[in-house]
Amino acid sequence: MKKTFIVNENKNLEVKQNMFTGLFTFSLEDQKFVRVDRQHFVLNKENEKNEIVVSGNFYHGFRFTFNGEEYIFSTRLEWYVIILGFVPLILSIVLGSVRELAEAGFYYVGGAIGGAIGGAFTGLSIYLAGYLCKKWQRLLLVLMAIILSFGICFMIGNIIAAVSK
């Protein structure tokens, strides 16, 4: 994710976070900051010392302070996004273990296959929701994950039932 902030005297501070490693890089007017450790960055130029300190985490949102001023990089995940994010895993655990549903003709794969599919959609939806800025986009993402995981587990359950007959 990449954001640009306007800091003192109309300078552009560009902030990038690697989606896979979570590491930040900062550059002020195309001059890169040097990483002191995981949360501290320093840029020494023209008799002034610019320092950045990153705080927060993935669930509570990231903030950083630049020369005493605080900027918000990402907002916290809402409680309903986290709860709805776990629905695909819960669906595969619950619906895959109810024998009466299978006897009534509703075939939904559970067990290791359903758990892997539900777990993958749970992890992906919560992880990707953290990189979206708007609440409606986060909600739409987790709802799509629920629909897709339900459809895939239902389809695989019907395929297994059709092949076994």
Question: What are 78-136's pLDDT values in tens digits?
Answer: 999 999 999 999 999 999 888 898 889 899 998 899 999 999 999 999 999 988 888 99
Whether the predicted pLDDT of 9 surpasses 80: no
Distances 60 to 18, 20, 39, 160 between C-alpha atoms, Å: 18, 18, 16, 42
Contact 119, 145 (CB under 8 A): no
Q: What confidence score (pLDDT) does residue 116 get?
A: 95
Q: What confidence score (pLDDT) does residue 91 get?
A: 92
- Its sign, for the CA torsion 29, 35, 39, 43, is negative
Q: Which runs of consecutive H residues, i.e. helices, occur in the chain?
A: 79-85, 87-95, 99-103, 111-129, 135-164
Q: What confidence score (pLDDT) does residue 94 get?
A: 92
Strand partners, 44: 49
Strand partners, 103: none
Q: What confidence score (pLDDT) does residue 92 get?
A: 92
User: Percent of the chain, pLDDT > 70?
Assistant: 99
Q: What confidence score (pLDDT) does residue 67 get?
A: 79
Q: What confidence score (pLDDT) does residue 16 get?
A: 87
What average pLDDT does range 62-85 have in this prediction?
Answer: 88
Q: What confidence score (pLDDT) does residue 22 get?
A: 80
Report d(CA 8, CA 110) in Å as an integer. Answer: 56
Grouping H, G, I as helix, E, B as strand and the rest as coil, residue 51 is: strand
